Amino acid sequence: MNRIIGTTLACAGLLTATAACSGSDSGGKSDGPVTVTVMTWESPETNTAIKKALEGFKDDNVKVQLVDTPSGGYGDKLASLTQAKKLPDLFWCGNDTEQQYTSQGLLVDWSKRVDSGDGGLKADDFVGSAMKNWKTSEGQMGGLPSLMNTYGVWYNADAFKAAGIAEPKSGWTWDDMYSAAGKLAGKNGAKYGLVADQLTSADAPFTMSMYSVSAGGAPFTDDVNHPTKAEIDGKYTEGVEKLAAAIKSGAVAPPGYDASNVPALFSGGKVPMMFGGQWLAAGFQTDKPKIKYGFAPFPQVTTPATLYDSVGICTPQYTANEDATYKVLAYLNTKVWDAVLPASPVAPPAYTPAQESYFNALTKAGQATVVDTVKADLSAEKTVGVRFTTQWASQVGDLTTAMYQPILSGKKPVSDLQAYAGKINDLIKSQG
């Protein structure tokens, strides 16, 4: 019996010792160079390019290590690493993640460093709307924006030509878009003329803001980070009515349409028009769709309006060496994109001096319409946010599913929009 107890205790001791040795040595404080770990959500190809580019980072006291991540499931991995307090020193994060994590005190505040131009990174060199959105109400920045997401309408130029419709271009209207969608629906294996996930998904109410703002009306919300109200005015209602009619006619795909394989269907000529981000250009460059395609700015009512969104790189507050981490962060923002984007032009950098390589790569690949649209988006005067970044944003998503989407599907009257906005305003008030 004593032997059994002894063996058990020995095993327990061994396990404890193993566990004690299994902690991360990220940014270790022991002698020798500091290791700064980096985690991205990019594809294996882009990660390979990033890894190669990071080899150019030269500092005797700092080593950089790219953490392997499974393809997909980045959100789950991020959540588990956050709760285990094992986040890498630098990790790719969305605007909402940065806002929410910063408000919980989980991230290092870089605002003073970037304001003072530390490491060659000057606040003025970043896209203004991105910097504004990455600051919390207290002026903190738990990370820095790295890449901009711009959006527009991808179209099948061949299908437009076959149907005798003029190709979309800057200045086209929402009526033009719905009219074209109606003519393209049901032709050449395409069930719908337009698949616009951004207009029918959980973020749909924000996208519709483009209509009202373009028509001189009010945006859906005054601020996605610190909203004080949600508003649906006459212009906004007009936009929803037009969209609901287009869905009813079968020109536009309804809410619930599975958008996961839409780019593939677009490449195969089964979707003539789709809302989407500029990042699809990188995939099209590799896969080379058989159709002739283009990328147009969003339609307008009277003045151009577009969505703005940016992703970035965040740092946990328990990073072992802030100086070393900031050096790598600065290198990522200023140098890495020059090496990565020519091979994989996924997005324009938020750090404007680094944007040239992105546009050069697209021009070289013959993606002139993408260059024009991205440039138009980046310089757009009227912009609206893509979604709330607040901690209670998921509750707004549930309200959208319960109240907004049925309006688009024609199951509830458009007049219910006011009740929907009222519920969101109640939520804003209850959150203080």
Q: Output the smallest distance, CB 194 to another protein, in A.
A: 14
Is the Cβ of residue 53 or residue 393 nearer to another protein in the bound state? 393
Is the Cβ of residue 7 or residue 303 nearer to another protein in the bound state? 7
Is the Cβ of residue 212 or residue 389 nearer to another protein in the bound state? 389
Give 125-167 as a DSSP string: GB-HHHHHHHS-TTS--SEEEEEEE-EEEEEEHHHHHHHT-PP
Is the Cβ of residue 34 or residue 87 nearer to another protein in the bound state? 87
Q: Measured between alpha carbons, how far is 194 from 198 in angstroms, rounded to an integer?
A: 11
Q: Measured between alpha carbons, how far is 87 from 342 in angstroms, rounded to an integer?
A: 29
Is the Cβ of residue 52 or residue 191 nearer to another protein in the bound state? 191
Q: Output the smallest distance, CB 318 to another protein, in A.
A: 12
The closest alpha carbon to 85, from 396, 317, 429, 262, belongs to 317
Q: Output the smallest distance, CB 409 to another protein, in A.
A: 8
Q: Output the smallest distance, CB 33 to another protein, in A.
A: 31
Beta strand extents in 61-150 (DSSP E only): 62-66, 90-94, 143-149
How many CA atoms are closer than 13 Å to the CA of 69, on its beta-carbon side?
30
With b meaning 16 or more CB within 10 Å and e meaning fewer, what string describes 328-355? bbbbbbbbbbbbbbbbbbbbbbbbeebb
Say which residues have a Cβ less than 8 Å from residue 172's Cβ, sequence separation at least 6: 296, 299, 300
Q: Output the smallest distance, CB 242 to another protein, in A.
A: 21
Q: Measured between alpha carbons, how far is 279 from 340 in angstroms, rounded to an integer?
A: 14
How many CA atoms are closer than 13 Å to the CA of 193, on its beta-carbon side?
21
Q: Measured between alpha carbons, how far is 375 from 397 in angstroms, rounded to an integer?
A: 31
Is the Cβ of residue 5 or residue 20 nearer to another protein in the bound state? 5
Q: Output the smallest distance, CB 183 to another protein, in A.
A: 19
Q: Output the smallest distance, CB 333 to another protein, in A.
A: 20
Is the Cβ of residue 79 or residue 162 nearer to another protein in the bound state? 79
Is the Cβ of residue 182 or residue 254 nearer to another protein in the bound state? 254
The closest alpha carbon to 405, from 183, 260, 247, belongs to 247
Q: Output the smallest distance, CB 298 to another protein, in A.
A: 24
User: Under the rule (CB under 8 A), what is the footprint of another protein?
Assistant: 1, 4-5, 74-76, 78-79, 82-83, 93-94, 96-97, 100-101, 104, 106, 189, 191, 254-258, 261, 265, 268, 270, 391, 393-395, 398-399, 401-403, 405-406, 423
Q: Measured between alpha carbons, how far is 89 from 325 in angstroms, rounded to an integer?
A: 7
Six token digits for residue 139: 């002026």
